[in-house]
Amino acid sequence: MSHFDTGNTGFLMICAALVLLMTPGLAFFYGGLVGGRSTLTIMMQSFVSMSWTSLIWLAVGYSLCFSGSMGDGDFGGVLGNLDHAFLRGITLDTPSPNPTVPAFVFIAYQMMFAIITPALITGAFANRVTFKAWLLFLTAWLFVVYFSFVHMIWGGGCLAKWGVLDFAGGIVVHNTAGIAALASVFYVGRRRSTEAAPHSGPLIAIGTGLLWFGWYGFNAGSEGAVDGTTAVAFLNTHMAAASAGLVWLGMDWMTHGKPKFIGLLTGMVAGLATVTPASGFVSPVSATLIGAAAGLVCYGACQVRGKQGWDDALDVWGVHGVGGMLGIVLLGVFGDTAYNAAGSNGLLLGNAGFFGKECAAVGLASVWAFTTTYGMLWLIDRVTPVKTDEHEGLDDHLHGEAAYM
């Protein structure tokens, strides 16, 4: 293994652990936002993905994402093949896309993305979905949506060949999950429960802290090595979260007459989600502007959601769906090859073609995620009821447990 770089390998292993930590962080974040008697239910939905998605990833997920490429053994540039099912053919000496890092490290790192992406959706249908239906949905969504977009953009598929860029998951993770959340809201309908929510600001704060901390691995680690682009992605991640949180806080203050702590925390997460696709392709100043735009646009989207009566319980669409979409569009605006030679200049540097490709790709992803999510929920409902009978708290009803004894 002497041909592998110990610095790059060690760094990516740490980043994989950081990204895994984001899923418990998400569980805390969502757990505080729901009512106290449904906290364990929504946290369990995140934690079960850590186990079940890992097994699917080892068996076929990695292979479907990263085997074959457009015109070379994949399925029409949309999905990979099963050449590496159960990691067949992967040895201690097999390199990752970055030849200085072992494939096993890359496999583990990408698995952490697969774990958290469907877990993001759970915040939309909080208090309304049975555990059995969630397991079926988690499985189907990985195959139909997530694996496809990983291959199309990161696995050498059709969108990659077309020139679409997504540094760490604006389309692959946040836009697809957020749009799927909106489809889920439309399918399962509104809650009738009157349980007070959110119930715990400290839980939300802990979750936000873990998410922000883990996001350095999410974005900086996506370079796959330690270099200048890694450093700028790290800094960009921080600046976007900082500016988005302040803008959201200001919007809350102007709207409600008081600065809101949960608004500040939500804005930080919106900034993190929005800068994700651009983090390794833009300057720190651009990342700060992207964060500010996230605070404004995502806040506005959540206000629209409320006025329309869409019961997206934890604003997954407004924060992740709209944030991921906005980040891809602004990458098309602010992209600068001075910060990543493998990137592309954006609209501000005269490349309108790249801007158009980014907009088209996010449009395709949104339509795909919405229609397939709605369809799979309808099919799952034919097998087992998707929506649970409403109770003031689901923890005892579904799992026979309680978050607070």
pLDDT tens readout for residues 288-319: 999 999 999 999 999 999 999 999 989 999 99
Whether 194 has a pLDDT exceeding 70, the answer reads no
* Number of structural domains the chain divides into: 1
Tell me if 1 is assigned to some domain: no
How far does CA 142 lie from the centroid of its chain? Answer: 13
Please give the pLDDT value at position 241: 98
Nearest to 352 by CA among 339, 338, 364, 335: 335
Per-residue pLDDT reduced to its tens digit, 226-267: 999 999 999 999 999 999 999 999 999 999 999 999 999 999
Of 283-287, 312-316, 348-352, 378-382, the poorest mean pLDDT is in 312-316
Which CATH number covers residue 154? Answer: 1.10.3430.10
Tell me if 405 is assigned to some domain: no
Q: Express as a percent the part of the chain with pLDDT over 90.
A: 88
What's the domain range around 360? 6-399
Tell me if 137 is assigned to some domain: yes
Instruction: Count CB neighbours of 401 within 10 A.
Output: 12
Tell me if 334 is assigned to some domain: yes
Please give the pLDDT value at position 396: 86
pLDDT confidence of 388, banded at 50, 70, 90? confident
Per-residue pLDDT reduced to its tens digit, 89-132: 999 999 999 999 999 999 999 999 999 999 999 999 888 899 99
**Total-model pTM:** 0.96
Whether 2 has a pLDDT exceeding 60, the answer reads no
Tell me if 373 is assigned to some domain: yes
- DSSP per residue, 337-358: TTS-TTS---GGGT-HHHHHHH
Tell me if 404 is assigned to some domain: no
pLDDT confidence of 390, banded at 50, 70, 90? low
Tell me what percent of the chain is helix, strand and coil, each rounded to the nearest 5: 70, 0, 30
Residues whose CB falls within 8 Å of the CB of residue 332, separated by 6 or more in sequence, listed in order: 346, 347, 354, 355, 356, 357, 358, 359
Whether 166 has a pLDDT exceeding 80, the answer reads yes
Tell me if 206 is assigned to some domain: yes
